Structure 1
Amino acid sequence: MTNESIFLVSFILFILLILVLDLGLLNKKSDTVSMKQAGLMSFFVVALSMCFYFVLTHYGHLLHGIDSIERLQEIVSKHHHPVRIIPTDLEGSIYLYNQNLGLEYLTGYVVEYALSVDNIFVMVLIFTAFGVAPRNYHRVLFWGILGAIVMRFIFIFVGAALIQKFEWIMYVFGAFLVFTGVKMFFDKDHDDSIDPQNHPVVKFANKHFKVHNHFVGSKFFVTINGIKKMTPLFLVLVIIEFTDLIFAVDSIPAIFSVTKDPYVVFFSNIFAIIGLRSMFFLLAGIIDKFRFLKVGLAILLTFIGLKMLFHEYLDKVGFSTTDSLFIIVGILGGSIFLSLVLPEHKKERKLKYDAKNDDHLRK
C-alpha cells in the first residue's frame, strides 16, 4: 500500500470510531439529544479537528511520502501548493510545506463548517414539514451522515481528477459559486417552506415504490399484509441525502478554491460533516436568530467564486492561504456579530410572518 492509501484507510477507520461514539454509544440510553450532550459532542469533534490540524502541520509530508526535494517539488507542482522550496534544505522546505498544508486544511474546514449551517436551516424545515418526532432526529442524521461521507468521497476524488485533467473547470466552478452567492443574497428573505406532498422525492417514491402513509416508530420499512413498504421516515432520510447532494455542489468546489489536494479536501469535509449532527441539536432552536448569517454565507460564496476566477492573478500578487483564512473568518465573524448586536425586532418578525401567511393564502 502507498502512504496515501495507508493515511486514507487509517483516517476512515478513525472517523468510523468517532461515529460509533457520537451516533451510537452516546445515544444508547436516550432517544433525544440534550443541549448539554450536543454541546459536549460539538466541543469534542471540533477539538479532534484541531488535533488533526496539528498532525498535518507536523507530519503532513508523510501523507504523500515526501522524503526528498524531488518528491516535494512533484507534490507541490501537482497540487499547486503556494510553498517556497529551498533546494538545499529539505527539512526547512518540509516545514514550510506542512505549515501550508495545515492552513489549507483549517481554511477548508472553516468554509465547510460554515456552509453546513445553511444545511441546518433546511434540515429544520424538513423535519418540521414532515412532522418527524424529535426522538427520531438522531437516527435519521446518523444514516444521513454515513451516506454523506460516501457521496463526498466520490465527489471529491472525481472532482480532483477532473481538475487535474481539465484546469478550465476551476473557472466553471468559480462562475457557479459567484452565481450561487449572488442568488443566495437576493433570496435571503425568500420563504423556504417545504410542501411534503409535492416534494420531488415524495412524488417519485409514491410513483415507483410502495410507501406507507404513517410513521411507525423509528422504522424505515414496515411489512403490512406481506408487502414491504417505505415509511415516511425513510423518505425524510432520502430527502436529507438529496439535500446534502445539492449542498455538496456548492461546498466541494468552494474547498477546491483553497487547496487542490483531494486528501486535504476530504479530511476537512468529513470533519465538518461529522460535527454537523451535534451542531444541529445545538443550533436548531436558535438558528433563526442569526439574521445576517445567510448574507454572510452569500458573500463568502461570492468571494470564493471570485478567488477561483482570478486565481492566476492572485497567485502572482502573493495572495496566500493565510489571507483567505482571515477574510473567510472575517466574513463569518462579521455576520454573526451583526446578528447579535442588531437582533430582529418583534415588529419586523411580525411583518415577515404576516407576509408569509398572505403568500400561503394566495397559493
Structure 2
Amino acid sequence: MSSIGTPSLWALFTVFVLVALALDFFALNRQGAHKVSMREAGVWSLIWVAVSFAFVGWLWWQLGGRSGDPATEAVANAKALEFVTGYLIEKALAVDNIFVFLMLFTYFAVPAEYQKRVLMFGVLGALVLRALMILIGAWLIAQFHWVLYLFGAFLVFTGVKMWWAAGKEPDLDSNPALQWLRRKVKIAPDYDGERFFTVVQGVRMATPLAIVIVLIGIVDLVFAVDSIPAIFAITTDPFIVLTSNVFAILGLRAMYFLLAGVHERFHLLSYGLALVLTFIGAKMLIIDLYKIPVVWSLSITAAILSLTMLLSVLVPPKGKVTSAYPFEAKQTPPRE
C-alpha cells in the first residue's frame, strides 16, 4: 500500500504527539482538579484546531505544495485535502462519542472537577487503540481488496441503525459491559477524590471513577469501528488516516467541555451523522465503479452536518428523556 509516510515524517509526527501529550499532562497536574469553564474549553478547542491546520499546512509544504512542479503540487494538494476531509469526518463522529460520555458522567454522577482527568486517560486509550486498528485495517486492505466492500456495507448498516436509534437514550442498566464489570469488580458506593481504588470497611474496591474510565475506553473502541472505516473510504494512505485521527482525538477533551452544555441544541445531529456514514459506506461500495472525488466528499459531509445543526436550532426537540442515576453525586468521602 502506497503512503507518503517516510521514516522522517513518522518520526516528526510521533515526537509532536508525545510533546503535546506531555504538555497536556503538565498543565493538567499543575491546574489540579477543577471544573472546566466554557471559556477554557473554547480556547483549547481553537488551539487544537489551529495546531491541526498548521500541521496539514506544514505537510502540504513538505510534499512540495509550492515546488512549481504541477505533478508534485497535485499530490500535495490531494493529500492535504484528504487530511482535512478525514479530520472533519472524525471530528463529526466524535460528537456522538461526546454525547455518550456526557450520559456516562451523568449516570455515574461524576463531579465536574474530575471529568477532565477521566477524559485525559480516555484520550490516551483512544490513541493506542486507534493506532493499532488503523495499522490492522491498512494491512487488511493491502492484502484483501474486498475488505473495502465489507467496510462499506458495515458503514451503510451502521448509518441505518444510527438513524433508527437517533433520539433514543441507551439503557445503561442493561449494558453488557457494565453488567459484567458489576459481576467481576467490587465497586465502591462513593468517590474518593480522583483515586481509582479505595478501601471500604477493610475491602479494596474500584471507585466509580475507574469504572467510568473503562466504559469510556469501550465506548471509544466501539465508535472507532465506525469512524476508522469511514476515513479509509477517503484515503487508504495509513499516514493520512492515522494523523487525521490523532489530531481529531487530541482535541476531543476540549470539545467535550465545549459541547457538554449545549448538547440538547443539536438533537438532530445524530440523523446527520447517520446520513454521513451511509453516504461514505455507499462511496466505498461503488469505489471500483466510480471514485467520488475527495472534494465532493468533503462538501457533502460539511453540507449535511451544517444543515442538521441548523435544523436542530430551528426545530425544538419533542421531549427530554431522563434516566435514574444509580450513584449520587457526593464529595470526597473519608478513607478508612
Q: TM-score, normalised by structure 2?
A: 0.88
Which residue matches 2:312? Answer: 339
Which residue matches 1:321? Answer: 294
Which residue matches 1:229? Answer: 205
Structure 1 position 217 matched with structure 2 position 193: yes
Q: Deviations over 1:235-261 (max 9, x none)?
A: 100000000000000000000000000
Structure 1 position 11 matched with structure 2 position 13: yes
- Taking only the aligned residue pairs, the percentage that are identical comes to 41
Which residue matches 1:34? Answer: 37
> Is the CA contact (8 Å cut-off) linking 2:5 and 2:239 kept in structure 1?
no
Which residue matches 1:254? Answer: 230
Structure possessing the higher radius of gyration over alpha carbons? 1
Which letter does structure 2 place at the counterpart of 1:10? L
Which residue matches 1:46? Answer: 49
**Residues 169-188 of structure 1: matches in 2 within 5 Å?**
169-188=147-166
Which residue matches 1:271? Answer: 247
Please, what is the CA RMSD of the aligned residues?
2.3
The offset of 1:341, in angstroms, is 2.7
Which residue matches 1:79? Answer: none
Which residue matches 2:82? Answer: 104
> Is the CA contact (8 Å cut-off) linking 1:300 and 1:328 kept in structure 2?
yes
The offset of 1:227, in angstroms, is 5.6
The number of aligned residues is 318
**3-state DSSP class of the match of 1:37?**
helix
Structure 1 position 200 matched with structure 2 position 173: no
**3-state DSSP class of the match of 1:240?**
helix
Single out whichever of 159-168 and 325-334 deviates more from structure 2: 325-334
**3-state DSSP class of the match of 1:222?**
strand
> Is the CA contact (8 Å cut-off) linking 1:53 and 1:105 kept in structure 2?
yes
Which residue matches 2:135? Answer: 157
Distance 1:330 1:146, change over 3 A: same
Which letter does structure 2 place at the counterpart of 1:314? Y
> Is the CA contact (8 Å cut-off) linking 1:125 and 1:193 kept in structure 2?
no
Distance 1:209 1:187, change over 3 A: closer
The offset of 1:23, in angstroms, is 4.7
Distance 1:61 1:155, change over 3 A: farther
The offset of 1:312, in angstroms, is 1.5
Q: Deviations over 1:41-85 (max 9, x none)?
A: 0000000111111122211379xxxxxxxxxxxxxxxxxxxxxxx
Which residue matches 1:134? Answer: 112
CA distance in 1, matches of 2:285, 2:175: 35
Distance 1:203 1:61, change over 3 A: farther
> Is the CA contact (8 Å cut-off) linking 2:48 and 2:250 kept in structure 1?
yes
Q: Deviations over 1:134-180 (max 9, x none)?
A: 11100100011001000010000110000000010100110111011
CA distance in 2, matches of 1:14, 1:119: 25
Q: Deviations over 1:157-215 (max 9, x none)?
A: 110000000010100110111011111111213232422xx443333334334443322
The offset of 1:4, in angstroms, is 2.7
The offset of 1:291, in angstroms, is 2.2
> Is the CA contact (8 Å cut-off) linking 1:27 and 1:33 kept in structure 2?
no
CA distance in 2, matches of 1:58, 1:273: 24
Q: TM-score, normalised by structure 1?
A: 0.82
Which residue matches 1:114? Answer: 92
> Is the CA contact (8 Å cut-off) linking 1:145 and 1:274 kept in structure 2?
yes
Which letter does structure 2 place at the counterpart of 1:101? K
Structure 1 position 297 matched with structure 2 position 273: yes
Single out whichever of 199-208 and 179-188 deviates more from structure 2: 199-208
> Is the CA contact (8 Å cut-off) linking 2:167 and 2:267 kept in structure 1?
no
> Is the CA contact (8 Å cut-off) linking 2:91 and 2:248 kept in structure 1?
yes
Distance 1:169 1:303, change over 3 A: same
CA distance in 1, matches of 2:208, 2:139: 38
The offset of 1:322, in angstroms, is 1.0
